[in-house]
Amino acid sequence: MPVVRCPDCDAVIELPPGTRSGDLVECPNCAGHALRVREDAGRWVATLAHQVSCPNCDKLLTLPEDAKPGDTVECCGRSYRLTFEYGAFAAEEA
Ligand SMILES: [Zn+2]
Ligand SMILES: [Zn+2]
């Protein structure tokens, strides 16, 4: 069973069968982000995939790898501005 280490808390996470490069998996210990996994020469590595909840509907939105504060995300037909505080992204009404 391939495993990755969570870059945030260092937990070892088993990848479910059928996991492919670029898939998202959850760390059981960490809220506020998922892990984007990638196979590299037979080894699996994980990077943080930050998530924010929509201020309007609470849906969890996964941010692209290059997301940064000030970017906008869209949900519910509106745009929200990303902020980054205390190690986590949040979305607020633009
Ligand atoms: Zn973790
Ligand atoms: Zn929404």
Question: What is the rounded CA–CA span in Å between residue 12 and residue 29?
Answer: 10
For residue 45, the CA-to-ligand 2 centroid distance in Å is: 31
Q: Which ligand is nearest to the CA of 8?
A: 1
Q: What angle do CA 81, 82, 83 make, to 5 degrees?
A: 120
Beta bridge partners of 34: 49
For residue 77, the CA-to-ligand 1 centroid distance in Å is: 32
Structure tokens at 69: 């504060």
Per-residue model confidence (pLDDT) at position 25? 94
Residue pLDDT, tens place only, 25-65? 999 998 878 999 999 998 999 999 999 999 999 999 999 88
Per-residue model confidence (pLDDT) at position 65? 85
Query: Quick one: which of 48, 50, 47, 94 has its CA closest to 75?
Result: 94
Percent of the chain topping pLDDT 90: 83
Using DSSP, state whether 86 is helix, strand or coil. coil
Residues whose Cβ atom is located within 5 A of ion ligand 1: 6, 8-9, 11, 27, 29-30
